[in-house]
Amino acid sequence: MKVISTESSQILAARLATALNTGMVDVKFSRFPDGELYLAAGELDDETVIVGSVTGSDALVQLLLLIDACEGSENHLVIPYMGYARQDKKFKNGEPISARAIARLFKDNVADCITVNIHEPDVLKYFGVPTKNISVGKDVGAYIQTLHLKNPLILAPDDGAMAFAEGVAAVGGWDCDHLEKTRLSGVEVKMAPKKLSAASRPVVIVDDIISTGGTIATAAYMLYQQGATDVYAACVHGVLIGGAFVHLKAGGIRDVFCCDTVERGCSRISAAKSIAAALKG
Ligand code: R5P
């Protein structure tokens, strides 16, 4: 077995190869003069783990090209971050179910697939091959343990993120809650933990994705008003568009960290060991 990756997941793929105690296939990436993507894979094995986060349209095309290049091998696909997964239903007439459109692309040359904290696990049914979604909640919790926070509150930004937050909190036996929005007037909204108090303690807001950082920045502002000593932001997929990292830091967030499903400077938690366990499993 060998591991091969697109450009978007090269660091995670190398960590995964180490965790699996196996080698990697070198790939040459370039573009044709008209801008179209080109790649050429080195020597393949009979069994290959193909790793590629769908961080954008080029990353998607590169992943499709790589799968095609791995023809003749038994291929296990790993999609650490699946972009387009948030459009998982038609919100108005005429819209696509983008998650379905993307998932359906992965069938030829693929034996099975693993996703990591996909935004809505229900979309797994759209994949053309057996697909399993894993959670790296334990890895995020293990990283939070290294911060040695005193009596932290693990907070999901909404009810939907609560299951993930509970998985994180279970690692340290920490308190866990989710934020609740209360509309105070036409223009004023209050956000506070539903059951517990954030006063005089550190709070770690955990979510699957930080995109613009808008949700967490607003929540952090209100948590400081409620007496939180420090607010941290953790997520699986650090999409971080439009200067989100700086926006969060400028808003007083003590630290922002994410996993290597999207490779960022703040990707301090690796999903490699959990992916390796799922592949062996
Ligand atoms: C949404 O449902 C996701 O779980 C995240 O909460 C959302 O993508 C975060 O977006 P932003 O960082 O732009 O507030």
Residues with CB under 6 A from ligand 1: 157, 161, 207-215
Ligand 1 atom with the smallest distance to the CA of 208 is 4
Fold of the CATH domain 2-135+271-280:
Rossmann fold (3.40.50)
User: What is the pLDDT at residue 186?
Assistant: 81
Spell out the per-residue pLDDT of the chain, length 281, in tens.
999 999 999 999 999 999 999 999 999 999 999 999 999 999 999 999 999 999 999 999 999 999 999 999 999 999 999 999 999 999 999 999 999 999 999 999 999 999 999 999 999 999 999 999 999 999 999 999 999 999 999 999 999 999 999 999 999 999 999 999 888 888 787 899 999 999 999 999 999 999 999 989 999 999 999 999 999 999 999 999 999 999 999 999 999 999 999 999 999 999 999 999 999 98
Ligand 1 atom with the smallest distance to the CA of 119 is 4
Ligand 1 atom with the smallest distance to the CA of 158 is 6
Which sequence spans correspond to the domains of the chain?
Answer: 2-135+271-280, 137-260
pLDDT in tens, 147-168: 999 999 999 999 999 999 999 9
At 242, list the tokens.
Answer: 């439009």
Q: Whose CA is nearest to atom 10 of ligand 1?
A: 211
Q: Whose CA is nearest to atom 1 of ligand 1?
A: 209
pLDDT in tens, 53-91: 999 999 999 999 999 999 999 999 999 999 999 999 999
User: What is the pLDDT at residue 66?
Assistant: 98
Distance CA 196, CA 184 (A): 20
Domains 2-135+271-280 and 137-260 fall in the same CATH topology: yes
User: Are the C-beta atoms of 120 and 99 separated by less than 8 Å?
Assistant: yes
Distance CA 226, CA 279 (A): 44
Report the separation in Å between the CA atom of 267 and the middle of ligand 1, taken as the mean of its atom positions.
17
Kind of pairing, strands 2-5 and 230-238? unpaired
Enter the pTM of the model.
0.96
Q: Please pick, among 90, 181, 190, 194, the residue that the annotation labels catalytic.
A: 181
Of 171, 172, 154, 153, nearest in space to 162 by CA: 154
Active site residue 132: no
Distance CA 80, CA 262 (A): 8
User: What is the pLDDT at residue 181?
Assistant: 85
User: What is the pLDDT at residue 277?
Assistant: 98
Question: Does domain 137-260 sit in CATH 3.40.50.2020?
Answer: yes
User: What is the pLDDT at residue 82?
Assistant: 97
Beta strands in 47-187 (DSSP E): 47-51, 74-79, 112-116, 131-134, 153-156, 175-183
User: What is the pLDDT at residue 182?
Assistant: 86
Q: Return the DSSP state at 155.
A: E
Kind of pairing, strands 37-41 and 27-31? antiparallel
